[in-house]
C-alpha cells in the first residue's frame, strides 16, 4: 500500500502532509504512529490530512495527528506548513483561510524565499485560564491559544525540564493532557522558550506553544508586546492587535510516496 506525502517544517517543527482524499477511512491513529516513526516511517512530529475543498469562510481544511497517534486541535507551525503546501504554486495568492479543529485561521504571506515562505497567522484571542497556579510543585500559567498550554516561568534551563514536561503533560489537572513551555525572560520584549508538546515530546519550536508562552509572559508582567520568542530552531515573533498574530517560516523538505504494509489499528 502507498500514500503520497509532502514533508515540511515550520522552524524545525516537522510535519508530513497527505491529501485527505487518498487517506484510508479507518486506522488513522495507527497510521500516524507508523508514518511519523523516524526509523521505519518518514519521520515527523505530526501527520496532517489536507482537504482542499473550500467551504463557508475557508479555503481548505486540515486534520492533525501527533506522532503518538493522538489528534490535536491546532498547530501554529503545522498550519503554516499546510498554507505553504496550498500556496507554493500560486505566487499570485498571498492569503489563505484554513479550517482547523480550533476554528478557521487566516494566514498572510509576508515573504517568499525559494523553498521557504514566511507567514503571519492570526492566532485569535488567546485566553488566560489561570494566571497563577501550581503544577508539579512549580509556579505556572495556564493558557488556551486553541489547545491546552501550561507555561512555567523559569530563571534558567539548568534542571531536567524534559522530565517536568513529561510529568506535566499527564498531570491530573489536564484530563486531555497538555502542551508545556518553559519561559525565560531575556529582555522586555524577548523570551527564551523550551517546549514539551503533548503527543510529540520535546520539539525544536512550537507555534501555539510560542503564542501561549508569550501571552503568559505578558499576562504575568515579564514582557510587553510585541514579543520575540527565541527557540532552539530560531526566532518567532508575535504582536497583539485585535488578535494575537504569529509570524514564522514554513519550508518544504521533500515530496514522495510512502510504502507501508498492514497497520495494526489496535496500536
User: Could you tell me if 148 and 54 lie in one domain?
Assistant: no
User: Could you tell me if 97 and 133 lie in one domain?
Assistant: no
Q: How many CB atoms lie within 10 A of CB 144?
A: 18
pLDDT at 261: 80
User: Could you tell me if 57 and 144 lie in one domain?
Assistant: no
Residues whose CB falls within 8 Å of the CB of residue 180, separated by 6 or more in sequence, listed in order: 149, 150, 151, 152, 164, 165, 168, 169, 195, 196, 197, 198
User: Could you tell me if 16 and 114 lie in one domain?
Assistant: yes
User: Could you tell me if 109 and 179 lie in one domain?
Assistant: no
Query: Do 208 and 73 meet the contact criterion of CB atoms below 8 Å apart?
Result: no
Number of domains in the chain: 2
Residue whose C-alpha is closest to residue 231's, from 201, 203, 253: 203
Task: Look up the pTM and report it.
Answer: 0.92
pLDDT at 265: 55
User: Could you tell me if 94 and 116 lie in one domain?
Assistant: yes
User: Could you tell me if 148 and 201 lie in one domain?
Assistant: yes
pLDDT at 232: 95
Per residue, the 3-state secondary structure of 135-150, as one string, reads: ECCEEEEEEECCCCEE
CATH assignment of the domain containing 67: 3.10.310.10
Averaged in consecutive runs of 10 residues, what is the pLDDT profile of the chain (267 residues)?
96 97 94 97 97 98 97 96 96 97 97 97 96 98 97 98 98 97 98 97 96 98 98 96 96 96 62
User: Could you tell me if 111 and 177 lie in one domain?
Assistant: no
User: Could you tell me if 138 and 111 lie in one domain?
Assistant: no
User: Could you tell me if 70 and 105 lie in one domain?
Assistant: yes
**20 within a domain of the structure (yes/no):** yes
**266 within a domain of the structure (yes/no):** no
User: Could you tell me if 137 and 190 lie in one domain?
Assistant: yes
The Cα-based distances of 33 to 6, 36, 110, 253, 260 in angstroms read 17, 5, 33, 20, 12
Query: Do 241 and 108 meet the contact criterion of CB atoms below 8 Å apart?
Result: no
Query: Do 227 and 34 meet the contact criterion of CB atoms below 8 Å apart?
Result: no
What's the distance, Cα to Cα, between the start and end of the chain in Å? 18
pLDDT at 24: 92
* Domain boundaries, position 208: 127-242
User: Could you tell me if 204 and 150 lie in one domain?
Assistant: yes
Average pLDDT, the chain: 96
Amino acid at each position: 500500500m502507498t500514500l503520497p506525502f509532502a514533508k515540511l517544517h515550520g522552524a524545525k517543527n516537522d510535519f508530513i502532509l497527505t491529501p485527505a482524499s487518498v487517506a484510508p477511512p479507518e486506522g488513522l491513529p495507527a497510521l500516524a504512529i507508523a508514518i511519523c516513526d523516524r526509523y521505519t516511517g518518514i519521520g515527523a512530529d505530526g501527520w496532517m490530512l489536507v482537504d482542499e475543498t473550500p467551504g463557508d469562510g475557508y479555503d481548505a481544511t486540515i486534520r492533525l495527528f501527533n506522532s503518538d497517534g493522538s489528534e490535536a486541535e491546532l498547530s501554529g507551525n503545522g498550519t503554516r506548513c499546510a498554507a505553504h503546501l496550498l500556496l507554493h504554486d500560486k505566487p499570485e495568492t498571498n492569503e489563505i483561510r484554513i479550517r482547523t479543529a480550533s476554528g478557521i485561521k487566516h494566514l498572510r504571506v509576508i515573504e517568499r524565499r525559494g523553498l521557504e515562505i514566511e507567514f503571519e497567522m492570526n492566532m485569535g484571542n488567546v485566553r488566560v485560564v489561570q494566571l497563577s497556579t501550581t503544577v508539579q510543585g512549580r509556579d505556572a500559567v495556564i493558557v488556551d491559544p486553541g489547545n491546552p498550554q501550561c507555561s512555567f516561568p523559569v530563571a534558567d534551563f539548568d534542571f531536567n525540564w524534559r522530565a517536568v514536561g513529561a510529568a506535566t503533560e499527564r498531570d491530573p489537572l489536564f484530563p486531555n493532557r497538555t502542551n508545556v513551555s518553559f519561559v525565560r525572560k531575556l529582555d522586555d520584549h524577548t523570551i527564551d522558550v523550551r517546549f514539551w508538546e503533548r503527543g510529540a515530546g520535546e520539539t525544536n519550536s512550537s507555534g501555539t506553544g510560542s503564542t501561549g508562552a508569550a501571552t503568559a509572559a505578558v499576562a504575568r508582567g515579564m514582557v510587553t508586546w510585541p514579543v520575540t520568542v527565541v527557540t532552539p530552531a530560531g526566532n518567532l515573533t508575535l504582536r497583539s492587535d485585535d488578535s494575537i498574530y504569529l509570524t514564522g517560516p514554513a519550508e518544504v523538505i521533500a515530496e514522495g510516496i510512502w510504502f507501508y504494509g498492514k497497520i495494526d489499528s489496535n496500536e
